[in-house]
Structure formats: C-alpha cells, structure tokens
Chain A
Amino acid sequence: MPELSYREAVRDALSQAMRKDDDVFIMGEDIAEMGGSMGVTQGMLDEFGPERVRNTPISEMALVGTAIGAAMQGMRPVAEVMYEDFLTLAAEQVVNQAAKHRYMSGGQLKVPLTIRTQGGAGWSPGAQHAQQLEAWFVHIPGLKVLFPSTATDVRGLLWSAIYDDNPVVFFEHRTLYGLKEEVPEELEPIPIGQARVHREGEDVTVIATGRLVHESLAAAEQAEEDGVSVEVVDPRTLQPLDEETIVDSVKKTNRAVVAHEAVTRMGFGAEVAAVIQHQAFDWLDAPVERVGAKFVPLPFAPVMEEFVVPHQAEVYEAIMRTVGRNGH
C-alpha cells in the first residue's frame, strides 16, 4: 500500500477527481503557480492548466460566491479558503447563500460545492490565522461539515465531498499536512456521516477531532500503561454526526471524553456531550469530560500557545478523571 502524507492525500483526491471529471475544478488564492500557501495544489497547474486551476483575487466573498454560481450551473468546484479564519469574510456566501439555495428553491437548485480550508495552532500563527471555527458551521442547517484527521480519511472524504450535491465545508488541520499514513491503492470514497473507531478500548471513550485525534491516541497509550483501556473515536464528519457509533461506544465503556482544539466553551464537543447524556444517560458512570482550548484569543508566543490549546496531557488527565483517578 502506498504511503501518502495528509497534504499529498488531499492533492491526490483533487487530481483524481479532475482527471475523471471535467466538471471538477479548483479555485483559490495563490493556488496555481504557488501551489497554495500550504503547498497542497503544487504541480496541479501543470497537469490541468489555468482554466481548471484558477487563481482568484484576494476576496473570499467573491471567490466563494463565484464557486456557488458555478456549482449551481452544474460544475463541481472546490474552492480553497487559505485560512479558516477568513471564512468570516465569506460567511454571507456560505451561510446565507450556499446553505440556503437548495431549500429555498424547493430543490430546483443544488450547490455541489466544496470549500476546502485549514487552520490550527502549533506553529505560532497568532490569533487571526489558526482558529478552529468548525462550531460556527455545524450550526447551520444546509451545510455538511467534514474534518478528517488522517491521509486515508482526507482522501476518501474529499472525494465524497466533491461528489455530494450539497455544500460541504471541508476543514483540514495545518499541523497534519506532513503526517503520513498508508492509504489504499485505489482511492476508496468514505461515506459522509460515518465515524472511525481508531482504537478499541473498554473503560473510556474519547471522541476527538482533527489534531486531537492524534493527541488522544497518544494519551490512550499512556493511560493503557496505567491500566485504563481507552477507545478513540473520530467522527470525521461533524455534520451530519454519526451518533450511533459514539453512543454505542459510550454504552460499552460507560465514560466519555470529548476533545478538540477549538475552545471548549460552546464547542462542537458540547453537542457531542449532549448527545451522549441524552442517549446513553443510564450507561454513564461519570460526567462527560470536555477537552479544548482555553477561552482566550490564541497567543502568538509559543509557550503561551502551548498553554492555551490542549495536548496529550490534557486528554490523559480527562481520561483519568472519568475513572476517578488523578492524572499524575
């Protein structure tokens, strides 16, 4: 099986779709000659030409709006928004237009649009270039929201996003681009709305997204040494949420930790915790623990950034709290 980095996996999904299907094209800021600010689209201009690898002006609103128009005309555009922080600039197009057209037209229109974007801390990007804003978009009916954490998942899910007839906001994590994973020889589409159980365990379920999937897997190893068996579940699709897999897992382990890099407060994890308490109430042996960033704009100083966002240690401590033991 070939080994691909997360970045290469994104590029592979885009390229395969564009080879297969003339309706698929990509557009974004500096994605052509420069290959994107994260290098995801490097080399694609040479293969597909400027008609299908389109640089846009520095206007997220114009770029997303144009992509919506193309999608409604039957194309399957993939728009890249350089940082998810900049989705705020395109929010009108995403929230009020893309999410609404199919519903408001009674199904006469559809918007098969994929908006790729990335974010995440860990490299001192400061307060305006590393936020995790997935919670904003899972709150909007009409949007699908994906957040893959591995090369296999990002490749299979990006494919499904491109071929979904609804607008998909596709979050990638900056610090995961270099992460390698063996991927299937043939690209295997991963259905939207299906969680992945990364690791089976008996005592605690950690439901983690993005970078925290990897922190949680490390924390699970650590807890295992202390005799606590941890199951790690990555929803991968935040909207629609695979509640069944999560609830089944918690019914088995009786304890749950939700973990993401976004701030804890009002975060995606709060929704997961609510689903768990409602559907697995009689199975819970401890309060659902939440792990996330402190409620503060992300600091630039590396030590401060390290302090604000969660890592393996925070997940480990939360795991231990659910079994009534102090982490360390």
Chain B
Amino acid sequence: MATDVSLPRLGQGMEAGTIVRWLKSEGDQVEKGEPLYELDTDKVTQEVEAEASGVLLKILAGEGEEIEVGKRIAVIGEQGEDVEAEAEAEVEVEVEEDEQEEGSPGAAREEERERGREAAADEEPAADGAQPSRVNGRIKASPLARRIARERNIDLSSLTGTGPEGRIVAEDVERAAATPAHATVGAAPLEAEVVPLTSIRRTIARRLTKAWEAPAFQISMSADMTRAQALRERLRDQKVTVTDVLTKLAAIALLRHREVNAHFADDELRIFPSAHVGLAVATERGLVVPVIKEAERKSLVQLAIERGQLVERARDAKLTQEDLEGGTFTISNLGMYGVEIFTAVLNPPQAAILAVGAIEEKPVVEDGEVVARPLMAMTLTCDHRAVDGAKASEFLRELKTLLEEPGLAL
C-alpha cells in the first residue's frame, strides 16, 4: 500500500513551501520519523520527517519548486509498486532533456551519410519534453568561438551564428567584438541580473505590502541612554546588549500601556496580557523576526541568552516556525549601522513597531547649560485603526522614562 506524502502546513498562514533538498533519493528505504526533505516555508527552513516507512518510490516535487500546502510531493510504498502513471498525472515532473549530443551517433556512419545528415539537421525538432527554458539552452558554437567569447566577455546567446547549421563561429564573435554597444543608436540595454524570489523574500514582500494597507502614523522621541548604558556595562560579561535592555523595558512599558501590545484583526482588537517581543534580524537570506516570549518576566541575562540563540539560529536558517510565531510587538534596531533615525513598516497584525537608531553623543541643554548626552532616537509606527496618537505617546514616553531611569521598571 503506497502512502502519499503531502506538503504539510507547518504554521498558521503557511500557504506554500519550497523543497530545498531531498534527503533521500528514489528507491531509498525510509523509516517513519526519519528526516525526508528540507522545506523552506515562510521564513523557516526545516527538516521534515517521513510520515510512513517503506521505499521512497517516487519524488514528485523537484528541489527549488514552490509547492502549495496539501500537494502530493512523494510516494512511499513497497518496492516494485507502480505509482508512475497516477503520479505523473498529478504533478508535472521535470523531465531530463534527451541527450542530443551532436555527432556522437553519426561518427560511426560513413562520411557521405554524415554529409547528408547536415542538411537534414536544420529541421530537427527540439527534444520532446524539454523545458521551455532549455530549448535554447544549448548554444551551438565552435570551441574557438567559445574561447574568444569567454576571453572578451561576450554573451554567446546574443549572437547569431553564420556557420553551418547556424553554428556561431569565430568570425561571428569577432564581428560582435568589433561593434561596441555605444556605436549603435541609443544606449545599450542594461542587462539586469534576474534573481527569482526565495520563499523568505516572497513572504517579506507579501507581508510588508499588506502592512502598507494600514493607516500608519509615526511619533518620535529621544532617550538619554546614560543609565541604560551603565546598566549594560555592569552586565557586559553576561553579554547583555542595549537591545536586551530595550526589550525588557519595552515589554514592561507595553504591559503598562496594553493598547499598544495588540493585534488588529479586521473586526476586533486583541490585547495581550504578556509581551512577546519580536526582534528584526538581518540574515543573508533576508529579514526574519524571531520572537522572545514573555519578555517582561525574563531577566536581562536570560534575555541576552535567548536573543543570542535566536540570532544564531536565524543566521544559520535554523529557526523553527515556533520561534517566529506569536509576536505582539516588534523592535527594529539599526543603530549598529550608524542609522540615527528611521521609521519601520508595521509587522501585521501587530499594532505597533519600534524603530531605534544609534546612541550618539548630542548637545543637550540642562539647567541653561549645554552638556553632551548619549541620546537614542526612537520612532514608533502605529496602526491607527488600533492605537490613537495619545495612547502611542503615553507608551513611548513611558519607555523613554524607563530607559532614562531603569529603576522605575521595578
């Protein structure tokens, strides 16, 4: 009895995923619970375990293809079971292009037959089953033409061959090299590098476009970070950072102004009794926002450890769906890049997001005297459907007060 393997829904809102890598090949024995493939979903890459034991009879989804949740991606069953016919009908499987190496079968023929073949070759149809992108994938060019093109950085696919059977010969490349782009009328079209969207990039695009629908407003304040920095200095050995201090104090401020610790969900507001603070983390693959749960209840050292682990997992693309779920508020810190002030885009359905910049020594007037103070600019973006300006200001003032006098958080 063959068992279908379908693409699972690994988290709320997951609609599709991309199989990064099959960990088993067709014909391999698979045990239930054994990792079967790596799945790239909304912001997470994780190993997915086999749902049944048996032989991996057929892989229906190729690596790199985006698959909808629920689609059949493989079949596990007993050796020798025939799953081909029904399998092929359901999902298109990438078909290896027939090897059409020029000349190799003809080499054994007689010279004159070979010559006859040349004339016929022009009408040879493309190999059946070839992917459209592969039809012209093989460029016919002489080795010399290829070498010259390589040396002069000329794209062979932009040339038309004038040799036998349309082959690009050296002369074609020489001609192209002798005709610089600026000699033609107008500027040469700029060739952009085309990068297909990764699953994570697609998620970012979808969510942030959605965020743009919200009527958002921003308010800014600067906090004197003298005491927050002093606190951080005392805990430096425990690897506590300004972000950890900020996370802790923001969580406390959120619970004091719970309207900001909310989700806006179409026809209702969801106000949360605990602050799950998301931290925007830049990775090579794109932005991810792992969440620190119940941040208000954790010590700075605990927060530092948890943040360290989440950031490391994010950079290694090892975050789980659970790491990313349940955020009630988000902090985005670009201070380490020297950014002074910026505004963040909402992270729906959250009602607010805080953008913090670098701590910089600034002149401040105190009692009629100009003194230097380390200031940090904060900009709060709010979804006006959930939060009004006054409430937002109260929250931000609370946070500013706590940063300037952390003892008030007790």
Residues of A in contact with B (beta carbons under 8 Å apart): 254, 264-265, 281-287, 290-292, 294-295, 321, 324
Contact = CB atoms under 8 A, between A and B. Distances in A.
B162 interface: yes
B311 interface: no
Interface residues of B, number: 17
Interface in B130-155: 142-147
Given A285-B170, A286-B142, A324-B162, A295 B110 contact: yes
A290 B142 CA distance: 17
A interface majority secondary structure? loop
B147 A282 contact: yes
Given A287-B103, A324-B164, A282 B111 contact: no
B164 A282 contact: no
A286 B144 CA distance: 8
A281 B142 CA distance: 9
B182 to A, nearest CB: 28
B246 interface: no
Contacts of A281: 143
B104 to A, nearest CB: 12
A292 B144 contact: no
B143 to A, nearest CB: 5
A281 B143 CA distance: 6
20 contacts: A254-B144, A254-B170, A264-B110, A281-B143, A282-B146, A283-B144, A284-B144, A285-B142, A285-B144, A285-B169, A285-B171, A286-B163, A286-B164, A286-B167, A292-B111, A294-B111, A294-B112, A295-B110, A324-B163, A324-B164
Given A282-B143, A283-B144, A285-B143, 17 more contacts: A254-B144, A264-B110, A281-B143, A283-B143, A284-B142, A284-B143, A284-B144, A285-B142, A285-B163, A286-B142, A286-B167, A294-B111, A294-B112, A321-B164, A324-B162, A324-B163, A324-B164
A117 to B, nearest CB: 27
Interface in B105-143: 110-112, 142-143
Given A321-B164, A324-B162, A283 B111 contact: no
Contact of B110 (A284, A294, A324): A294
Interface string B157-168: 000001110010
B164 A290 contact: no
Given A290-B111, A294-B112, A285 B162 contact: no
Contacts of B112: 294
Interface string B323-356: 0000000000000000000000000000000000
B120 to A, nearest CB: 16
A249 to B, nearest CB: 14
A326 to B, nearest CB: 9
Contacts of B144: 254, 282-285
Nearest to B161: A324
A285 B110 CA distance: 22
